Amino acid sequence: MDTFLLTMIATFVADMGDRTQLLVALLVVRTARPGLVFAGFATATIINCALSVFVGSFFASVISGDALTMFQALALGFAAIAMLWPRLALDRLEGWRMTPFWLALLGCLILEFGDKSQFLVIAAAARADLPWLAGLGGAIGIAAATVPAVAFARRIEGWRPLKWMRLAGGVGFAAAAIVIGLSAL
C-alpha cells in the first residue's frame, strides 16, 4: 500500500502545472469536448504507466539493493530539476486534424513519454513487491492532477498558484532525492 500511496502523491505533485495538464486544458477549450479529451488523456496515462511498470520490473530483475535506491533518488532528482526548470513552450497541436479523443491520446502520450512522472513510476515499480501498485498509483495521481485542468480549462494556464506548487514540489523532490541518495551510499 505504501508503493501505491507514495507513487500517487509523487505523480500528483509532479504533474501540477505540467505541460500535459496545460495541453488537456487547451484541448478542452479548443474542442469543447471535455469527456473525450479526458478519456484520451486517461488512456495515454494508463499506457504510459503500464509501460513504466514493465520497465521498472525489468530494472528490478537486473539491479538490486542500493543501486535501486540510488535509481529512485535519481528519479526524484530528475523530477526536482524538471519542476524547477522553466517550462518549455507548449505545442498547441493546431495542425493536428483528428477527433478530440485521438488528439488528447496521441498528444499526451508523446508529452508523457520520458517525463518525470514516468521515471517516478519506473523507480517505484522497481522497488515494489507488487509493481502494478506503482502503476495504479501513478495513473491515479496523474489523472487527479489533471482533473482541475478539465474543470477550470479557461483559467488554468495563467493561474499563479501553479508556479508556487511547482517550486514547492521541486524543492520537496530535491530534498527527498538528497536524503534517499545519501542513504544509498
Position 161 pLDDT exceeds 80: no
Compute the 3-state secondary structure of the chain and give helix, strand, coil in percent, each to the nearest 5. Answer: 80, 0, 20
DSSP-derived secondary structure letter, 87: P
Q: Please give the model's pTM, rounded to 2 decimal places.
A: 0.90
- 11: enclosing H helix or E strand: helix 2-15
Is residue 151 scored above 90 in pLDDT? no
Which pLDDT tens digit goes with each residue over 26-52?
A: 889 888 899 999 999 999 999 999 999
pLDDT in tens, 71-125: 999 999 999 999 999 876 766 677 778 899 999 999 999 989 989 999 999 999 9
Question: What does the alpha-carbon distance between residue 180 and residue 174 come to, in Å, rounded to a whole number?
Answer: 10
